[in-house]
Amino acid sequence: MKDLLRLTDLGRADLQLLLRLAHRFKNEPFRQRSELANQTVVLYFNKPSTRTRISVATAVARLGGIPIFVSPRELQLGRGESIEDTARTISRYARAFVIRTFRDEDVARFASAATIPVINALTDQHHPCQALADLLTIKEKIGPVESVRIAYVGDGNNVCHSLMQGVAMLGGTIAIATPKGFEPNPALVVQAQTIAAETGGAVEISHDAARATTDAAAVYTDVWVSMGDPEDERARRIEAFHPYQVNASLMRRARANVKFMHCLPDHPGEEVSQEVLDSPASIIFDQAENRLHTAVALLHALLEQRLVGSP
């Protein structure tokens, strides 16, 4: 397996291996590692980022390498050089290529032209690096994913898609509640439900936030307006999503020791109340920290060719 473009590129055993490696690297953060000694990793950001940018750069440093940040404006790509020629050229210099952009098709084009590993650092449809950190956090803070029920309340977006895939792959249950018109991508839902049928998990889709949250061990939400969503949709979205705010009254439907999860950045007072963010239930900064440990694990495993990919 060369690239990670979506979580389902991984086999189930790969996913379990990555979580074990991340746990190990988390416990020995400053052990000298040299997988990337004298080598560079190119990080291309066509959208803003705090967590992904800093965690992946730090992961590169922990493996002995040097991160190089680029944005489209700084590359000839911004003046019309093709994705393919950009990928072929960077492959001659760097050891891996990490890309955050809009269209999934563009990342796929980078990956097929590149001879080095390509990692999706968020597209409109997927955020696999986030899901790796989320699954590790669930394992650490709640328990084995296969015995966990997670409610995802809000927009059926990139973060929702990757989390849904990850929970299904590990045999857990995810109950997704969105307003009408903001459901997750139907093809990805069918795929995740097929995976869940094999792993003993479940993927439930509804418009009922209260029902999805009932008995959940974690309640997860994300912003109502993602990067790249048309800004003129903002008012319509806020109105449609308003009943889906994660607040204390929704959290009371879940289990007694429920955890609150969010990929960040958050918008207090929109998708989540300040009260829930400030409550002991919130594990959002554990998720943020685990972005680093899972990035180390992912880079290590791709570079050392330890991943076999989905069958």
Q: Is 223 in the site for ligand NVA (CB under 6 A)?
A: yes
- Closest listed residue to residue 16, CA positions, set 299, 294, 303, 305: 294
Q: Is residue 230 within 8 Å of residue 104, measured between CB atoms?
A: no
Stretch that binds ligand CP, among 13-21, 47-55, 209-217, 302-310 (CB under 6 A): 47-55
- If one asks whether residue 263 binds ligand NVA (CB under 6 A), the answer comes out as yes
Taking the C-alpha atoms of residue 132 and residue 297, their distance in angstroms, rounded to an integer, is 10
Choose the contact partner of 50 out of ligand NVA, ligand CP, none; CB within 5 to 8 A by kind.
Answer: ligand CP
* Shortest Cβ 31–ligand CP spacing (Å): 26
Among 8, 39, 46, 52, the residue binding ligand CP under the rule CB under 6 A is 52
Contact of 148 with 217, CB cutoff 8 Å: yes
Residue of the chain from 22, 135, 150, 159 that contacts ligand NVA (CB under 6 A): 159
Buried b (16+ CB within 10 A) or exposed e, 202-220: bbbbebebeebbeebbbbb
Q: In angstroms, rounded to a whole number, what is the distance separating the alpha carbons of residues 244 and 206?
A: 12
The CA-atom distances, in angstroms, between 52 and each of 47, 58, 126, 180 are: 11, 10, 14, 30
Q: Which stretch binds ligand CP (CB under 6 A): 43-51, 143-151, 161-169, 189-197?
A: 43-51
Tokens linked to 103 = 């269209």
Please report, as residue ranges, which positions from 236 to 295 form the binding site for ligand CP (by CB under 6 A).
263-264
Residue 157, binding choice from ligand CP, ligand NVA, none, Cβ under 5 to 8 Å by partner class? ligand NVA
Which residue's Cβ has the minimum distance to ligand NVA?
226
Q: How far is CA 43 from the centre of its chain?
A: 16
Give the number of other CB atoms < 10 A from CB of residue 262: 26
Instruction: Give me the 118-147 binding string for ligand NVA, x by CB under 6 A, dash otherwise.
Output: ----x-------------------------
Q: Is 271 in the site for ligand NVA (CB under 6 A)?
A: no
Does residue 162 bind ligand CP (CB under 6 A)?
no
Binding footprint of ligand CP on the chain (CB under 6 A): 49-53, 122, 130, 263-264
- Using CB under 6 A, list all residues that contact ligand NVA: 122, 157-159, 222-223, 226-227, 263
